[in-house]
Amino acid sequence: MDPKTSTCLEAVRRIADMLCATAIWDRDNRSCNWIGASPLASVPTLRPLGFDLYNGLGGVALFLAAAHAAFGRPQYAETSIGALRAAHLQAHSVPVSPSDLSIFEGRFGLHFVTGLIGRMLDAPAPSIALPDVLHLLAQGTGRPHSLDVMAGSAGTILGLLNFEPHGFRMHLAALASRLGEEILGQAEARGGGFAWPPRTINGAVSGTVPLCGLSHGASGMAVSLLRLFERSGRAEFLAGARSAFRYEEQAFDPQLGSWPDLRAATAAQRGFDAWCHGAGGIAIARLQAMRSDILLRDHHRSVAITALERTHEALCESIDSPQRDEGLCHGTIGLAEICRIGGRMLSVPTFSPKVDQAAATVAEGIIDMGEFRDWPGDVVARPGLMLGISGVGYGLLSLSGMRLPSVVTLFESFA
């Protein structure tokens, strides 16, 4: 085992041990939770984790299941299952909400991650009943809901097409197609392509200018349509994805060398250049397009290289910043994972040194001082996946060479 891999795995083990040690169990020792800071709040508050995949119990359970697969320690599996039980109890105790279709924020995401964990663990996890999933989806699609990857039906499509166990997929593919048709029906002609205004795509996103990027923007819509095209062969899904990319391409700012953050008051402001907004997520979308859209493969490759080069620059800046965020969503580990995947797929070896440096820098900080930087200014670490320590551990496992369902590629392999 090379030193970098050994360092990453030691940091992962310490993260998993810390999560097991700080879990708060119920009186029967069957379910557990953690106290974390509220996500992205101007004045963070401390509260028990919710049930979701993005920053809640589902994501912590996923990381601990992966850690069990890596190390075989029974306490990792036990705590993963305890977190999953707590998540399902919590989900059943709250009313149905517009976000329940979401793979990252809703109950559908909890069903999705339960399937992944069931595959990872050799101990029994909470079971999934197809009628429960179908009932949830019927409720969600019958109510007003978002359309984007993060909170809505574009993300639902990605989950439906990658659902575990595999036997469910034939029952869910038709629903995925109907959600794709809904996405196409809500598109507006903008800039020679298709776009989705923020309040159409997700009422929680501010502004009036349609966004670029993966989480709430054109790339996210394109990815869902491309995966539908791969599975169904329906030309309208491919055409819709191409139109979304055309809108995004006309927004590219050569002076910035990147795509602007169109949530901002001025479109001249550069965004995160990360997975959620900006070049990182756009790179992931174009890597998907290289596989799905063979006729335009060279064009998608060109855009992917531009996006990856900017993501690599952002990774270099993140490593050197004393205020860096280290998480998966818009931090060092997420940037490193995107560069690792893109560099391997496009045979760009120049990305590897900084990817290795990023992994080593984050891992060494955890080993030496127990340090983890998930959001500058936080005084309490976040346990969760996309904004917290579980995501750092999950990313370090992937960077050390372990094959895991990739969060940053939206659970798809481009190999």
How far is the CA of 42 from the CAs of 45, 55, 216, 274, 296, in angstroms? 9, 17, 21, 21, 43
C-alpha–C-alpha distance, residues 366 and 377, integer Å? 17
Length of the chain: 415
Any bridge partners for residue 188, and if so which?
195
- Do 397 and 407 touch, CB atoms closer than 8 A? no
Question: Tokens at residue 230, please?
Answer: 């791969």
Distance CA 14, CA 2 (A): 19
Separation between Cα atoms, residue 107 and residue 386, nearest integer Å:
17
Please, where are the H alpha helices in 190-277? 198-201, 218-232, 235-251
pLDDT digit string (tens) for the chain, length 415 residues: 677 799 999 999 999 999 999 999 999 999 999 998 776 556 667 899 999 999 999 999 999 999 999 999 999 999 999 999 999 999 999 888 888 999 999 999 999 999 999 989 976 667 778 888 888 888 888 888 999 999 999 999 999 999 887 777 777 889 999 999 999 999 999 988 999 988 888 877 777 889 999 999 999 999 999 999 999 999 999 999 999 999 999 999 998 889 988 886 544 455 568 999 999 999 999 999 999 999 999 999 999 999 999 999 999 999 998 878 899 999 999 999 999 999 999 999 999 999 999 999 999 999 987 766 555 555 567 899 999 999 999 999 999 999 999 999 999 987 6
Nearest to 375 by CA among 31, 34, 44: 44
Q: What is this structure's pTM?
A: 0.94
